[in-house]
């Protein structure tokens, strides 16, 4: 395979300079261009400083520093890029501007030079449609900050030649980045796969189930996410995140799987954009989120026994252990005694449905999450008929071993079940539509989105059949196609196969 000799980068902003640093550090010659010459100077100065700092910290040898610096030069005129065999554009996100640039470059460079776009939302096939040789055009979508985010999407436009995809992938691997090859579809791979975490959290918030802070805490502590969805919205900027949600929803012709949240437009109008405007879902002071004080918990006397619907010995054992610490009794009968607090442990159902199905007394029945987070952040789910004194006792009992407890309102699938089921189902849909192989999908999501597991591996960890049960319950309750089960998931459950089993 032919390796690239010289890379021309057009657009020396945050992305262009990062891409230049990445390839120069890998020993490839890079020329940096921008329509504003001061942007080129700034980018080169910025990169030089980063490399020198790395050398000062001992992370880079003096030879490696000199070699990387020697690989990066300015190109003040577009014509200076004529000898490059790879051109990567990272200019403004505008279709006409990118098409015009590629047309101009085609006049300039040799016929076998490759033209790559770092666009995050525009169609590669559309950008290429303005070119005489669309087969040489591909997407090369990096993530910010480029040297640290060890992944790039190599996007195959409708007319892209296979060897262009292969050469870009090989270059990425040479620089230590994972090349996630994906077709030209809305959001490509990563932004598409990310459409469950934040959007489902917004749905939960919009349904009055829990506060943004609670949802963040539950998802971090029970599923291992490093950041909660609302912390992430505040970091990225709600305006940017919402634009991605709207664009993907539109490009999929209003498929309800991707419906954005109606909570967002008024927040945008109110300037609640996140960290950059000083307030989003959190308020920021000195760059730090101001967290609300936890409400004092009224002390309750534990004077009732507890009854648990689950017959699963593992679940009964862990619940009994906490009750024992609190000095409360777990009844053993198949039906609750006359004063018992009844705990239901639904999968996918809401508390009201579980209580009604099991014909339990509503004023002394509530739901306990046992699917995820029991050891790290416990979730109790009330329902409108619950006696507050019963809730107070349950809350006191479940904090007895010092695990924090969140009380949320009635929700199908609590919070962790519901968000996780959405992530897994969307991952299955991506595999089904051949947007990525199972292995590429899981690796790309971990690298780009920082999830503790990829969507399919997450499904395996918690059980594909259980994920399907949660989705079916959500679908039944809301009667919305948003929650329809992906055929990929359904078939693998039916056949007893792993979700990562690929298909021709
Ligand atoms: P930026 O605004 O920091 O930099 C863009 C640079 O392009 C500016 O220096 C501007 O002077 C220059 N420019 C604009 N039009 C030009 C033209 N016709 N010819 C030459 N130079 C031109 O933007 P940023 O954030 O670096 O984004 C660049 C591209 O990368 C966009 O397409 C964006 O969607 C995409 N992208 C951005 C990511 C991010 O996190 N910022 C992540 C992934 C992709």
Q: Confirm if 118 and 141 have CB atoms less than 8 A apart.
A: yes
Which tens digits make up the pLDDT trace of 332-356? 999 999 999 999 999 999 999 999 9
Mutate to test the pocket of ligand 1, among 9, 11, 40, 141 (most ligand atoms within 8 A of CB): 11
Active site residue 141: yes
Q: Confirm if 16 and 146 have CB atoms less than 8 A apart.
A: no
Three-point CA angle 283, 248, 501, nearest 5°:
105
Residue 376 and residue 325: Cα distance in Å, rounded? 16
Q: Is the dihedral of CA 101, 106, 110, 114 positive or negative?
A: positive
Mean pLDDT to the nearest integer, 247-269: 97
Which tens digits make up the pLDDT trace of 10-48? 999 999 999 999 999 999 999 999 999 999 999 999 999
pLDDT at 410: 97
For 366, the enclosing helix (H) or strand (E) is: strand 365-368
Mean pLDDT, all residues of the chain? 96
**Residue nearest (by alpha carbon) to ligand 1 atom 35:** 119
Asked if residue 298 has pLDDT above 80, the reply is: no
Of all atoms in ligand 1, which is nearest to the CA of residue 98? 18
Nearest CA-CA partner of 424 in 437, 441, 447: 441
pLDDT at 478: 96
Residue 43 and residue 47: Cα distance in Å, rounded? 6
Q: Report the Cα–Cα distance between both ends of the chain, in Å, rounded.
A: 26
Where residue 504 falls among pLDDT bands split at 50, 70, 90? confident
List alpha helices for 399-463, DSSP H. 416-432, 438-449, 455-462
Cβ neighbourhood burial of 126 (10 Å; 0-12, 13-18, 19+):
middle
Mutate to test the pocket of ligand 1, among 12, 14, 148 (most ligand atoms within 8 A of CB): 14
pLDDT at 37: 96
Asked if residue 295 has pLDDT above 80, the reply is: no
Tell me, using a 6 A CB cutoff, whether residue 325 lines ligand 1: no
SS3 387: coil
Asked if residue 465 has pLDDT above 90, the reply is: yes
Residue 109 and residue 114: Cα distance in Å, rounded? 9
Where residue 294 falls among pLDDT bands split at 50, 70, 90? confident
Active site residue 153: yes
Q: Confirm if 419 and 217 have CB atoms less than 8 A apart.
A: no
Where residue 299 falls among pLDDT bands split at 50, 70, 90? confident
229-236 helix and 197-206 helix, angle to the nearest 10 degrees: 110
Annotated catalytic residue within 25, 47, 120, 486: 120
**pTM of this prediction?**
0.96
């Amino acid at each position: 395979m032919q390796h690239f000799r010289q890379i021309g980068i057009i657009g020396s902003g945050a992305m262009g300079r990062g891409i230049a640093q990445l390839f120069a550090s890998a020993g490839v010659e890079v020329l940096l261009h921008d329509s504003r010459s001061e942007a080129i100077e700034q980018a080169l100065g910025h990169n030089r400083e980063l490399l020198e700092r790395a050398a000062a910290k001992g992370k880079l040898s003096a030879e490696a520093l000199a070699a990387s610096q020697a690989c990066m030069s300015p190109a003040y005129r577009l014509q200076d890029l004529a000898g490059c065999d790879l051109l990567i554009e990272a200019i403004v996100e505008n279709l006409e501007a990118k098409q015009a640039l590629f047309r101009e470059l085609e006049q300039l460079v040799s016929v076998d030079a490759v033209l790559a776009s770092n666009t995050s939302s525009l169609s590669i096939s559309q950008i290429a449609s303005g070119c005489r040789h669309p087969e040489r055009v591909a997407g090369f979508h990096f993530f910010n900050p480029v040297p640290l985010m060890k992944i790039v999407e190599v996007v195959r436009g409708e007319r892209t030649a296979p060897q262009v995809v292969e050469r870009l992938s090989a270059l990425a691997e040479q620089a230590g980045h994972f090349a996630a090859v994906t077709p030209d579809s809305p959001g490509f791979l990563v932004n598409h796969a990310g459409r469950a975490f934040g959007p489902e959290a917004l749905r939960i918030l919009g349904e009055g189930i829990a506060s943004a802070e609670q949802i963040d805490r539950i998802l971090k502590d029970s599923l291992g996410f490093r950041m909660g969805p609302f912390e992430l919205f505040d970091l990225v900027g709600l305006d940017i995140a919402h634009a991605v949600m709207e664009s993907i929803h539109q490009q999929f012709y209003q498929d309800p799987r991707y419906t954005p949240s109606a909570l967002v437009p008024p927040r945008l109008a109110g300037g609640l954009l996140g960290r950059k405007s000083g307030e989003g879902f959190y308020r920021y002071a000195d760059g730090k989120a101001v967290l609300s004080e936890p409400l004092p918990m009224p002390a309750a006397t534990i004077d009732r026994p507890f009854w648990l619907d689950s017959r699963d010995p593992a679940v009964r054992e862990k619940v009994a252990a906490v009750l024992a610490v609190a000095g409360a009794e777990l009844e053993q009968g198949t039906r609750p005694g006359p004063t018992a607090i009844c705990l239901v442990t639904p999968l996918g159902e809401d508390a009201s449905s579980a209580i009604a199905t099991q014909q339990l007394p509503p004023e002394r029945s509530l739901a306990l999450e046992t699917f995820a987070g029991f050891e790290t952040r416990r979730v109790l789910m009330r329902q409108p008929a619950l006696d507050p004194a019963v809730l107070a006792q349950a809350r006191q009992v479940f904090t007895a071993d010092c695990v924090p407890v969140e009380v949320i309102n009635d929700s199908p699938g609590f919070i962790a079940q519901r968000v996780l089921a959405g992530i897994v189902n969307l991952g299955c849909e991506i595999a089904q539509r051949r947007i990525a192989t199972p292995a590429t999908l899981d690796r790309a999501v971990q690298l780009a989105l920082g999830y503790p597991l990829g969507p399919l591996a997450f499904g395996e960890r918690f059980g594909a059949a259980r994920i399907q049960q949660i989705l079916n319950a959500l679908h039944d309750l809301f009667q919305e196609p948003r929650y329809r089960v992906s055929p990929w998931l359904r078939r693998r459950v039916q056949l007893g196969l792993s979700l990562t089993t690929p298909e021709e």
